[in-house]
Amino acid sequence: MLFRWPGRSWRRACFRRTLMRTLLTSRIDSALAASRGFRAPYAGYPGSATVAQTLRPFPQFNDGLAVRWAPLGNTWYDALHVNLTQRQWHRLDLTAAFTWQKEQALGSGGNPSAGGGPINNVFDRAAQKGLAANSQPFIFVTSFNYMTPRPSGKVAGALLGDWTIAGLLRYSSGALIPVPGAQNNLFSLVFQNTRMNRVEGQPLFLKDPNCKCIDPRAEFVLNPAAWADPAPGQFGVSPAFYDDYRWQHQVTENFSVGRRFLTGGHTFVEVRAEFFNVFNRTNLRMPTDFNNNPLSTRTFNSRGEPTGGFGYINPTATPAVLPRNGQIVARFQF
């Protein structure tokens, strides 16, 4: 197979792009800026400002003028909802709901709360439609109340009958992890950041978040090799979120058992025990440094434990769901 050098037009275009980046990042009082016809917009304008800053609508403001709450956002929601309700069947009440959904958004650059994250490439806004930040494709929730029947016999009926057993169970997809920001210094050219590109064939995780085998005091979970910077001066092509780039499944399992004891007349005593995360499932916090530079150096303490870097999980942070715990509540009404 013969190797062919890129054409002259391609090399000329690359040279022009490099020259343009050099020009935009040059001082406004530099010889290069003067040779291209650029000069300070008004007397007293700082000569240290770049040509790119000078081309802004209001160059006197270094941080620019942000646009907030512009009515430019769009959202899409498609879903299948299935509900089941069972009322008073052999002392059982049950409600269950299953949702299969897809949430998408196209927010504005100054209004990331529109759900889709800031616009990546303002020059191609129509192509920025993607998953909403709070997207959870699968959610199942069920709750029930069951009252035990009274067995025959006065003592057995008084001890075992009319106990209420209740539960609330919720299972859902994990939260989305944002795509890391690029480090190609695009901001100095157009005053807008962009995102890294996903590397084909590289896994996003070093370990499955749902494997129940992650030790945050010894391991990182995100794969730095899965991301690469766009070429200098170019926008990344990644959306704000990928559907397969999610943290652990979100699980909530709470139960309670209780009974009301009549003490005569209109008075009674109610006793109830409540248990949260009853199966003691481990729910780790999402990595704290998921949006930093994947190519940055990981840090460790004197014991060799991770303290920072791409995919670092803070082991001392409060978990998303607390370990199994319970409480007993007694109430007297008269």
- Domain residue limits, the chain: 8-54, 74-333
What pLDDT is recorded for position 120?
A: 83
Exposure letters 204-234 (e unless 16+ CB within 10 A, then b): bbebebeeeebebeeebbbbbebbbbbeebb
0.85 exceeded by pTM: no
Instruction: Identify the bridge partners of residue 250 per DSSP, sorted by sequence position.
Output: 172
Stated as kind and residue range, the H or E segment containing 323 is: none
Q: Which of 205-214, 264-273, 283-292, 320-329 has the lowest mean pLDDT?
A: 283-292
What pLDDT is recorded for position 111?
A: 46
d(CA 206, CA 74): 34
What pLDDT is recorded for position 5?
A: 43
* pLDDT band per the 50, 70, 90 thresholds, residue 4: very low
What pLDDT is recorded for position 109?
A: 43
Cβ atoms of 325 and 278 closer than 8 Å: no
Rg from Cα positions in the chain? 30
pLDDT of 181 strictly over 60? yes
What pLDDT is recorded for position 284?
A: 87
Cβ atoms of 111 and 140 closer than 8 Å: no
What pLDDT is recorded for position 187?
A: 84
Fill in the DSSP letter of residue 195: B
Q: Which of 20-34, 36-50, 176-190, 279-293 has the lowest mean pLDDT?
A: 279-293
Beta strand 267-276 with 197-198 is unpaired
* pLDDT band per the 50, 70, 90 thresholds, residue 119: confident
Task: Give the tens place of pLDDT for each residue, 281-307.
Answer: 888 888 877 667 898 889 999 999 999
